Amino acid sequence: MTLAISISGKGGTGKTTITALILKTLLEHTDKTILVIDADPASNLPDVLGVQVDTTVGDVVEELKEKTERGELMSLPPELFEAYVYETIVETERFDLVVMGRTESKGCYCYVNAVLRQIMQTLSRNYDIVLIDCEAGLEHIQRRVDQDVDVLIVVTDSSRMGINTAKKIVELARKMGYRATRIGILGNLGADARLVVDIASEVGAEPLGVVPLDENVRKFNLEGRSLLELPSDSPAYQAVKTVCERLGLI
């Protein structure tokens, strides 16, 4: 059975970095087949992972929309659309990556979100683990994009906006009927450990600890190097490894 893990939080709290470090942990400590989904319209995950992506799901949606408007495509059977989506998968030696991206047309991202739900229900069945870097904020929760995940990791820094967003994500996920059996609060960017415990206690989530500021992460980001190549003794990686152990992922 596929294990689905989503990472969410306010923009700027470092959820993409956390996603990359969770992937690094899974790659180094398991032999599971892994699908990584970049569901954030900013699409920064490929750069952080050092993976070249030429086509996103958003690009496919835009192309099909234009073909329909030109009369070149009258209808799109589900199996044909699924084939288009499969073409966007980037296969690496150890994991596969799908980037949702965004469309150029106004208001079209709602449809991309609908596609993501479809991917979660079909494509993900071919993998042991699906790891999702979610769109920043609450939108993905409101649209039930990742409602079928098993583990929901909510990342926050020490800012009031980061904390409030983390609380709202957990509360809204429960209100929307998310099936996640594990919901945790993870502090990042030097967030206070006591603060993480207090937030988790307030919303009935698990305190997952704190990922410290790491000079290696800053340096790799500036140099455009993949975080998958971080030294194993990097403080941020070690902290995320501990989180994965706590969640039973490794």
Structure tokens at 17: 């970095």
Q: Residue 106 pLDDT > 60, yes or no?
A: no
What is the tens place of the pLDDT at every residue in 11-45? 999 999 999 999 999 999 999 999 999 998 889 99
Q: Give the lowest-confidence range in 16-30, 57-71, 149-163.
A: 57-71
pLDDT at res. 103: 60
Q: Pick from 108, 149, 100: which is nearest to 2 by CA?
A: 149
Angle, CA of 81, 45 and 10, to the nearest 5° = 100
CA distance 48 to 101: 15
Q: Pick from 99, 81, 78: which is nearest to 89 by CA?
A: 99
Q: Is 3-246 in CATH node 3.40.50.300?
A: yes
Residue 71's contacts (CB-CB under 8 Å, 6 or more residues apart) are none
Q: Say if CB 92 and CB 112 are below 8 A apart.
A: no
Instruction: Please give the full DSSP string across the chain, using - where no structure is assigned.
Output: --EEEEEEESTTS-HHHHHHHHHHHHHHH----EEEEE-STT--HHHHHT------HHHHHHHHHHHHHTTS-S---HHHHHHHHHTTPEE-SS-EEEE----SSTTTHHHHHHHHHHHHHTGGGGSSEEEEEPPSSSHHHHTTTTTT-SEEEEEE-SSHHHHHHHHHHHHHHHHTT---SEEEEEE-TT--HHHHHHHHHHHT-EEEEEPPP-HHHHHHHHHT--GGGS-TT-HHHHHHHHHHHHTT--
pLDDT at res. 91: 96
Which is more confidently placed, 46 or 121?
46
Q: Binning pLDDT at 50, 70 and 90, where does residue 71 land?
A: confident
Measured from the Cβ of residue 59, the count of other Cβ atoms closer than 10 Å reads 18
Q: Residue 72 pLDDT > 90, yes or no?
A: no
Mean pLDDT of the chain: 89
